[in-house]
Structure 1
Amino acid sequence: MKKLQAKLLVFLVLVLFSGFARQAAMAGEEYTQGVKLLGQKRFDEATKLLKKAVTNEPNNSNALYYLAVGQHYQGKTADALVNYQLILKKFPGTDAANRAAQVVGSIRLAPGTTDAQWYPKAATAGAGTSTQNSVRTYAGAGSSSSVRSYSSSNLPDQATIFFEKGDAELKVDCYINNRPIKMVFDTGATGIVVGKNQLQEMGIRPPEGEPTGQSGGSSNASLQSYWLMPADVKVGTIQRQNFPVKVLSYNSAPPLLGQSFIQDFDYSIDRNAGAIRLRKKGSSSSGSAGTGYTVPFTWEGPKMVVNVEVNGRPYPMYFDTGNSASAISMGMNDVKALNLSTDEGEAVSHTGVTGSGSGLKFKVKRIKMGPIEKYNCDVTANYSSLGKPLVGQDLYEGYEYTVDNDRMVIHFIRR
């Protein structure tokens, strides 16, 4: 970590005296002052101003880069990683993206670790404190105060969550502060995501004050402000208190139930039964399937990455149960990299947590993930970059699958 910080300091000194930093003279006051404070190593003040700069100047790639650097120095490594990756996704080919790529290559998070809003740094436990009950603290939006953490010590060994059959999306019944709401179970989401508008419809007062940060999605390349709100969340027999809920300023898509809520479980999805079956890690009932197909995965921050072949070419993709529209959703940059033809594609539009987007739907001759192979598959390509493509339900339709986080494999059984 010290070596990485030293490298960052060298980057910082260099860019502050380069043309990269001189853009401050042409930018807003928050950006100019934020860069100045960053050079003075006043990181708390700098990041506060740079957050405002990113909001006011969404196309300023340098503002987002400097914000990530400031967060990195604050020790918010996972938050910084999220912003470095946003730069790579939204501003490919820029100086900011080139510098972000060098830093991202040096960052190593524990497998399964997501951005800091979902897995904040654990507070140091005192002598005699059980590690099962260790406390995590969460910064409140717009303040330096913290809220109590959720605990993993009272979770059931087994649980079953039922979803609506006959729908491509896995819609489950959830409760936020005892108010019912339908959510989509989405392995491509880092945590629970809901809009202020949806909280208001539930009769829950949304968070106020300065946003916690900016968030991007797969529908388009835009960023949207979000707040973190501690809430009591219940899904089936699993209940977490003071759980961090990511609240968007507005959400036109269904709320999402993502990875952080089930981080303590291995789970299987049986579409025929309409059930998600969860087994707590380390419990006597925990174990992986011994038959069927096995597909390995790796963690990239909060997302599961699998290797998929498209017309014989291997390509890394995110495993995403929330992608119900096609076998793969990708960006036009991926279409070019895979040398695919969209000549016979049809125009499509879609909606996600950051708003609407547009692209093309076309056919691909062959897609293969591990032993699972399909021909003449639908693929959608968005005009805005998505980062890595999303491999969706159409590819593994007809399979029950179990995610084994300890062994980092997905077991598929045909049903």
Structure 2
Amino acid sequence: MDSKKDLSGKTVLLMAIATGIIVANLNYIQPIEGLIATSFRVSKAAVGVVAMLTQLGYAFGLLFIVPLGDIFNRYHLIQIMLGLSILSLIVAFWSPSIVIFGIASLLVGITSVAPQIIIPYAAYLAPNLHQGKVLGNVLSGLLTGILLSRSVSGLLGSVLSWQYVYLIAAIACTILLFVLHAYLPRDPREQQNMQYGKVLASLPKLLAQEKHLQGAAINGFCLFGVSNVLWSTLAFYLAAQYHLGSNVAGLLGLLGITGVLFASIIGRLVDEYSPRMTIGLGIGFSTLAFVIFASLGHLLVGLIVGIVLLDLGTQFGQVSNQAIVQSLNSQASSRNNSLFMFSYFLGGSLGTFFATFAWSHFGWTGVCSVAAVFLIFALLGHLILKEPKKLQKTS
């Protein structure tokens, strides 16, 4: 397979499934933190640090590994990273101490960045007129993996020793590795004559030169930050307002299926209209969500409606921004994606930090105020920075 014509519906489905299976590795730890703490006889705070190491490892992987997609054959690079991920999961399963488990968790994060190599690879292989649809379908798989990983991990942890969560994940990734080796399209590009150090050094210059990448990075930073403002404080609010536990917060998280169902539709809207229009919708949905949280958050139905709208807003932004990022210089697509996703997760981390601080000092009103700040910056960035001309639709 050596051309864009080879990107069939089955191939797109395979890429979507692959991103979901691999990204799930990042979230398995969250529902079983208590079981891990008991097993290693450490505090829950210590396990929380380990969970943070997984996310930190992912951030490092985004910056230092994903750009390799612009140098090396992506068909091989995806499989190499998946193989290393399998080894990391096996070490996590075997870990005899919290220290070794912490190192394994860091490695799981670093090596689970293959989805962010697959996404620009899918965009590169897709026909230009259908790039948004392809990205929407692949991102549906990514969202499904994030959505289901917590439920799967919690279920397995309730019937098996928590270590088997990582063993089963390693087995799933091993099966995926053989399938990808057989059916993933070969990279049609010639070997790139670039040095790794120069590629990393080019990241700041690339961001400074690409105004459209700046716009996508700012919007992704803000909209994912807004999303995490809610999810980092929802359990606290449910306990204070309704006297409900974190298990209910997990159930409410299943409302994220809305984003999965709409990802492909959003992708088609991007193709038919423009990312600028759909990003505007994303900001609008997210803003409406927090208006409802602030005014009707004391009602459970208000929370449910707001969560659905917020998830739609986040998904509109993610698919639209990826369409912009992948429309830029194809020779730097992996580096573009690396910069965008790093900004995306940086916004999420800061959203979590500021929302938690606001909750501790100002309660739900403070949380909604933090979201308002993120949304104002998202709107300003949207008004100031335009989209690439090649994505602008003419009537």
TM over 0.5, yes or no?
no
Structure (1 or 2) with the larger CA radius of gyration: 1
Please state which band the TM-score falls in when normalised by the shorter chain.
Answer: under 0.3
After TM superposition, the score normalised by the length of structure 2 is 0.27
Higher relative contact order, structure no. (Cα contacts within 8 Å, ≥ 6 residues apart): 2
After TM superposition, the score normalised by the length of structure 1 is 0.26
Structure number with the higher helix fraction is: 2
